[in-house]
Amino acid sequence: MSPTNPYDVQAMLDSIPAGLGKLIPEGILILTFLVAIIFEIFPGRRFSKVLPFWAMTGLVGAAVVQFYLLVVGFPPQKIAMDMLWVDRMSGVVKLLVFVPAFISMATFHQSETKSVHTSDGKGTYFLLMIALAIGLSFLTMANHLMMVFLALEMASLPAYVLTAYSRENKKGTESGLKYVIFGCFSSGIMAYGISWIFGLAGSLDPTTADFAAQLQVHPIWMQGVAWLLVFVGLAFKVGLFPFHFWVPDVYEGAPFPVASFFSVGPKVAVFVVLLRLTACLHLGFSPGLESLLLAGFSAMALGSILLGNLSAMFQTNVRRMLAFSSIAHSGYLMVGICTFSVQGGASVLFYLTIYTLMTYGAFMASGWLEERKHSQTLDDLKGLSSRAPALAVIWIVLWVSLSGLPPTAGFIAKLEIFLAATQSYQGAGNLVLLVLLIAVVLNTVLALFYYLRPPAMMLFGQPKISSPIALHGFQGFVLVFLAVIVLILGIFAFDALSDFMLKVVDEFHSGVRF
Amino acid sequence: MTPWLTILLTLPAAGLLLTMLLPAGSNQLLKRVSLGTTLLQLLVGFGLLLPAYLQKLPDNQGFALHEKWQWIRLDMGTAGFLNIEYHLGLDGMGILMVLLTCMVMPLVVLSSWNNQHRNKLYFVLLQLLNLSILGCFMSLDFFLFYLFFEFMLLPMFFLIGLWGGEKREYAAIKFFLYTLFGSVFMLLVMAGLGFSFIDPDLTASLGRTVHTLDFLHMSGLADGTYPNLVAGSVFSHGYSLFGLDARALAFWVLLIGFAIKLPSVPFHTWLPDAHVQASTPISVILAALLLKVGGYGILRIAFGIFPEAALSSATWVAGLGMISILYGALVAMSQRDLKSLIAYSSVSHMGFVLLGLASFQAVGISGAVLQMFNHGVISSALFLLAGVLSDRTHDRTLSNYRGLWMKMPVYSAFVLVAFFASMGLPGLNGFVSEMMVFMGAFGSTEGYVSVFAAISVIGIVLAAVYYLRTFRQMFMGEFSYLGTGDSGSLQDLDGREKTLLVPLAVLMVLLGIFPSLATSLFDQSLSEYVSNLIQVAKP
């Protein structure tokens, strides 16, 4: 849908409404957000009661429409003056954002944590979550680097506030502040990188042949520095080594429905940006730049995997442990990115889906316990299997899946990345991939040290109190559902899911060709 | 055609479900249900599966009772498909191991009769383990095998960690990490194999390259070529990784993975810890069944897929075997705990398996397979016997006992038979398999295999030394007990214990006199398998 003459303003303006049909989910969210603001303005009790339901309905509506669009299918398309790229890849990831966001909202609404409720303006939480969802949603579609930056900021600002949401929680405030400072810093770096790129290429749309040709004229180191700055910004947002240090603090300090959403939604969306950029770079740029990036990416991957797993071993707090585990998982995902192939992209998308299921589940399971025991420490898991057998079983399934052992979906996700990397290695013979593979494999063993600890504590230890903890309500249902899905996808039907991801990524790749 | 193997696999699954449905407090009922399902498994194994196996002629590369269902077809983009099948089948080695599993499981349940706490969880885990061990011996698809192989770890981890001795958690985690270390590298080999072999029929019918992990498609022809090997793939001939031959590297990765499980020196250190800490029934499963998965894996997978790499590494494999035999025996001599003595003697006896496999002779490899079966029988008995003592006094220190024969004559007689069988006294089953291993190894022309075999003979002498010395110390002379336990509790075997030990003792004698009872099951199919391996390796 791109206008033939880049300076034809009329054609540009005309092209905008043509693409709006694909943006209905975002439209719904924006409408929800605006109406919710009006609700917030009126001080009446009635409005503050309606607001959560309004926000959740809006999100569900957006998710349903998005699901419909995904099922119906449509040719990938660039819209809004090539700023956005609507394709099924963004569709899949938007669902991975909307659904956890909805569950987090519902959990928050039901949450028994009194400390959160007493702080005034409960409605603000729902507003911020919607804003965050809008930002992430645009991020998944961003094609133009300016759009990437805008969407990232749109998502970051609500995230900063959400982290420090409960005022009584000192840790929350501290981690919120850390998050803001590091976040702004990394945004600045990224903006600087984008300006370099604009200076070098004269445009910010990496999918055009013109962009590639212009950029190629400049020396490799200049291109390298420019892209490095951009990727630093993105690496910060997904918590990749060496830009990971905010992750454990934020995951520990934020209210748990927020932390559990942070561990999945934003990460998933940013990884799609990484996928898009690397695909463009792979298809349109010099091999010199590619090997430079490969070196950087593999260093990040190795660092994240090692640091994540080694640090997680020494944690006594479940949330911090999950935070380091999520850093390690970012590293595994980077291995998929390092393949620069369609297959690798598909394996990353597959991994993201499974990652969302299991990490979100693990966070929720620990949140369920936290609310009832007011503690995040590992010691409090002792003897849980006799107090809460159902929760313990779910917990064990999810943690085994996180560690990547069969017969769980986590194992299949890892296997897909292995297969993609092996295929890539066999094609290009790049030794880096082989080294990465071996590192991942060794780390699986390392990671078992801490992934086994919570299940072992639950089964081996003796509980201090023996009152039973039952699973019930919406959260109970979600937890059971997640554990069952993780088990089923570990044995059956994952080929259908993985084939779908392959189609989706292939569609995207064939759209990028110059 | 009746799907016997699936039926056998559904029995532990049914037992599992039934156990889960029962209330947690009903201890007797839980035990009876588990005993019932494992006895049914024994019955089905010997009464239905075995006749079916004997009647049916092997139809594909010596395997019978095939069950093959389409399971997963992953689209790999430009590389085609990766096809994974639910493919079960048995050859001689497989049926022997499946029967061993069927036999040992009821004994394990019966020996758990005095288990005190958390019976429900215990029997759930036991059935899971049962299921995954059976699955391992039946799978003919690497992916399926790997699922079962890895899945064994978790139930075992909890079984050692929950019902063991004082340092059980340490032992459990050590067991887990050692075995996992071996198997994660195996996963890389599997990923490589996923692009290396094609399924010719499916490739023809689908019109796209269909890769497979089916063992049967990975075997080579007599002229040393592999009809289904994709040219230029990671495991095609001449491909190198880190400057090493990729096939040799993969062979060693697989070998080490399974050698950890076997276990072979120097990868054995998890075993004594696990055995000493685990409770009696868990030790029995560990020694009788889990270790066998290691030997089985080496022959079926490491040797089966990379025969020429195996042949050229025969000296090294035999060397590992020799070191295991001697080192295991020497360390066993200096043990003070009866269970760790038996554990190290296990290391020593599994060394014979490696030696037999390395011989690349039909008789040697048959000996190795028979040794696995025999060791399953003998070590079950030995660990049960050690359990009898620790049940009574909670004390297994050798030097605390004198003259047990006076106090417990029946018990002592069983110990004598098991010790003799284990040290390889003629007339008992251990002798036959060790003899066959040596016959094979002496006949080997590969490298130093025969030299190593000659040195390994010392191991038999050492075994006699530590067993006889232990027997003299604990059972002969006047009775006295020096430990802190209650010496009054040293009563002779009760009915349940006799029920456990009699079948094992009978098997030891029977297979010692009529080894053909076992060998006739696998002789033909195994010698075909081996001669095919040798032909592929040395075209």
**pLDDT of A175 above 70:** yes
- Which residues lie below 8 Å from residue A378, measured CB to CB, with a gap of 6+? A315, A316, A317, A318, A321, A453, A454, A457
Mind listing the pLDDT tens digit for each residue in B318-371? 999 999 999 999 999 999 999 999 999 999 999 999 999 999 989 999 999 999
CB-nearest to B73 from A343, A418, A495 is A495
Q: Alpha helices, DSSP H only, in A452-493?
A: 453-460, 473-491
Tokens of A59: 């999100």
Choose among B161, B191, B232: nearest Cβ to A422. Answer: B191
What global pTM score does this model have?
A: 0.91
pLDDT digits (tens, 9 = 90+) for A334-371: 999 988 888 889 999 999 999 999 999 999 888 888 87
CB-CB contact of B213 with B194 (8 Å):
yes
Mean pLDDT of A233-250: 87
* Chain A / chain B CB contacts < 8 angstroms: 100
Average pLDDT taken over every residue of chain B: 90
Any residues with CB less than 8 A from the CB of B361 and at least 6 apart, and which? B439, B440, B441, B443, B444, B530
Note whether B82 contacts A: Cβ–Cβ < 8 A.
yes
Instruction: Give percent of chain A above pLDDT 70.
Output: 93
Does the beta-carbon distance from B184 to A423 stay under 8 Å?
no
Report whether pLDDT(B391) > 80.
yes
Nearest chain A alpha carbon to B118: A386
Contact A495 B147 (CB under 8 A): no
CA distance linking residue A385 with residue A510, whole number of Å: 50
Instruction: Dump pLDDT digits (tens) for B215-238.
Output: 988 888 888 888 888 887 888 887
pLDDT for residue A236 is more than 70: yes
Over residues A141-151, mean pLDDT: 91
Band of residue A293 on the pLDDT scale cut at 50, 70, 90: confident
CB count in 10 Å sphere of residue B354: 31
Residues A402-424 pLDDT 10s? 998 888 999 999 999 999 988 88
Nearest beta carbon to residue A495 from set B72, B121, B180: B72
Average pLDDT over residues B101-109: 94
**Partner residue opposite B185 with nearest CB, options A426, A441, A448:** A441
Instruction: Give a three-class secondary structure readout of B449-474.
Output: HHHHHHHHHHHHHHHHHHHHHHHHHH
> Can you give the pLDDT at residue B471?
93
In a mutational test of the B interface, the residue from A385, A444, A445 whose CB has the highest number of chain B CBs within 10 Å is A445
Interval B276-284 mean pLDDT: 92
Hunting for tokens 């990938």 — which residue is that? A76
Interface of A with B (CB under 8 A): 341-343, 346, 385, 400, 405-407, 411, 415-416, 418-419, 421-423, 425-426, 431, 434, 437-438, 441-442, 444-445, 448-449, 452, 456, 459-460, 491-492, 494-495, 498-499, 502, 506
Q: Alpha-carbon distance B469 to A375, whole Å?
A: 56
Q: Does B244 touch chain A (CB under 8 A)?
A: no
What residues does B72 pair with on adjacent strands?
B84
Instruction: Please report the pLDDT score of residue A116 as a whole number.
Output: 47
Per residue in A462-501, pLDDT (tens digit) is 777 777 777 778 888 899 999 999 999 988 878 888 888 8
The ipTM estimated for the assembled molecules is: 0.88
Query: Running DSSP on this structure, what letter comes out for residue B401?
Result: E
pLDDT in tens, B8-46: 999 999 999 999 888 877 888 889 999 999 999 999 999
Which is more confidently placed, A189 or A49? A189
User: Do A405 and B74 lie within an 8 Å CB cutoff?
Assistant: no
Listed by number, the residues of chain B in 288-347 with a beta carbon closer than 8 Å to a beta carbon of chain A are: none
pLDDT tens-digit map of B477-496: 888 888 887 878 888 888 89
User: Which of A385, A398, A405, A498 would best serve as a mutation to test chain B binding (most B beta carbons within 10 A)?
Assistant: A405
